[in-house]
Amino acid sequence: MADIFLSYTHIDRPRARPLVELLESNGWTVWWDRGIEPGMPWHPALETELAKCRAVVVLWSKSSVKSQWVCREARAGREKGALVPILLETVQLPTGFADVQAADLSRWKGEPNLDEIEALLRRLANLVPPSRIDTVRPGYDPAFLSKKRLIFLPGVTGAAAVLRYLHFTVVMNPARRLAHYVAYNSDGAKFVNVSRGFDRWSADPLLPASLQMNLQLLRLSGYDRGHLVARATTCWGEPRAASISAQQAFYWPNVVPQSPRLNRDWWLALEQWERNMAREKDRLTGFSGPVFSDEDKLLGGEVEFEHGLIAYDTFRIPHAYWKVVVVAAPRGKYAVAAYLMDQATMLAQGVRRKIGLANYRVTLADLEKAAQLRFPKSLHEAVAL
């Protein structure tokens, strides 16, 4: 049984395919009549899937509005309260369907972060949670470097929510609407160059907006949208997997407000060193996050939710960011390097564009104290990288 039954006419198959790929990349299973094996009776298989699916997505076009089969499938979806209509073209809908809000994808070119696509995915997530979410969002793997010596997630101070993605996990601080940190795995031997044509920050459609940063607040801040884990660091594996991870790296839970100098010069240099280390050592595990403080700069703003609800946000800009890089070392041990960059201090000191990364290296114990974290014993027993 598939999560979603896709109803369309065969003439619209080329336009249906990218939608199916998008839905599957977000964890849903989709039945779109290719599941019928040669020699199987067509009607019983269709009827079974239509009856058991939890959402019926209908693609309305000039062709499909004339199709008795599509109209019949749409009625079945409406009767079970599971109809999700999509407009491929501007058409007059069949009788009885004009009052059901449809997502307008008439100008969609396949980009995953279109506003209409985000709204569509949120609607589907509310209707039917993706059954294959663990496949496309398995999260951080503590056994990535060694199955015998696991690297567990660091402990945090305060409330936390765990958000899993492909190749990385975000440990969120709901009170700050920023991550405590991101934990990630990177295979430098399997890096893939993924086209940046559709790169754009967007909300994670499967999460409540209240857990996420948003563009309105960052536009007010004057700070850059910085990655905690860089897109290129997570782009590895099979091309499809690398593409999915690249998209997920641009979700708001992975964004932090960084000064332009930090984001474009100093932090970028650290990220480039990290990727070079992944290429040299093949595999790497990393952790990256902000330092939270009561003295962090306050920023006011308004965030709009549904039905006119406005949250008058008071948002704080972290003054510093940290990164921990871990690789395998001889005799079953690990090698670790920890870095801490205080953007407020660096800006005040007029630090130049090019820096010596060694100047910002700290001990794991000092980082724990500064960021109020607790790293696992396996890292405290590691040698210096």
Residue 40, pLDDT score: 62
Question: What DSSP string runs through 328-356?
Answer: E-GGG-EEEEEEEEEHHHHHHTT--SS--
pLDDT at residue 34 greater than cutoff 70:
no
Convert the pLDDT of each residue in 85-123 to its tens digit. 999 999 999 988 988 889 999 999 888 778 899 889 999
Residue 298, pLDDT score: 83
pTM above 0.85, yes or no: yes
Q: For the residues 189-205, what does the mean pLDDT come to?
A: 85
Phi first, then psi: give them for residue 242, nearest 5 degrees.
Answer: -60, -40
CA distance 363 to 367: 6
- The crossing angle, in degrees rounded to 10, of helices 239-248 and 13-25 is 70
CA distance 350 to 373: 29
CA distance 72 to 78: 10
Q: How far is CA 111 from CA 17, 84, 280, in A?
A: 13, 20, 34
Residue 330, pLDDT score: 92
CA distance 377 to 324: 14
Domains of the chain: 4-133 (3.40.50.10140), 137-384 (3.40.570.10)
Residue 75, pLDDT score: 95
Phi first, then psi: give them for residue 352, nearest 5 degrees.
Answer: -75, 170
Tokens found for residue 57: 């997505």
Question: Which uninterrupted H or E stretch holds 121?
Answer: helix 115-127
pLDDT at residue 340 greater than cutoff 80:
yes
Residue 36, pLDDT score: 61
Q: For the residues 230-235, what does the mean pLDDT come to?
A: 96
Per-residue confidence at 41, pLDDT binned at 50, 70, 90? low
pLDDT at residue 285 greater than cutoff 90:
yes
pLDDT at residue 49 greater than cutoff 70:
yes
pLDDT at residue 7 greater than cutoff 90:
yes
Q: Side-chain half-sphere of 77: how many Cα atoms within 13 Å?
A: 27
Any idea what DSSP says for residue 308? G
Any idea what DSSP says for residue 306? G
Per-residue confidence at 170, pLDDT binned at 50, 70, 90? very high
Range with the lowest mean pLDDT among 218-222, 263-267, 374-378?
218-222
pLDDT at residue 42 greater than cutoff 70:
no
pLDDT at residue 32 greater than cutoff 70:
yes
The rounded Cα 365 to chain-centroid distance in angstroms is 30
Convert the pLDDT of each residue in 133-147 to its tens digit. 999 999 999 999 999
pLDDT at residue 326 greater than cutoff 80:
yes
Per-residue confidence at 19, pLDDT binned at 50, 70, 90? very high
Nearest to 191 by CA among 261, 113, 279, 126: 279
What is the percent of the chain where pLDDT is above 70? 95
**Residue 36 CB coordination number (10 Å):** 15
Q: What is the pLDDT of the chain when averaged over all its residues?
A: 91
Q: For the residues 265-271, what does the mean pLDDT come to?
A: 98
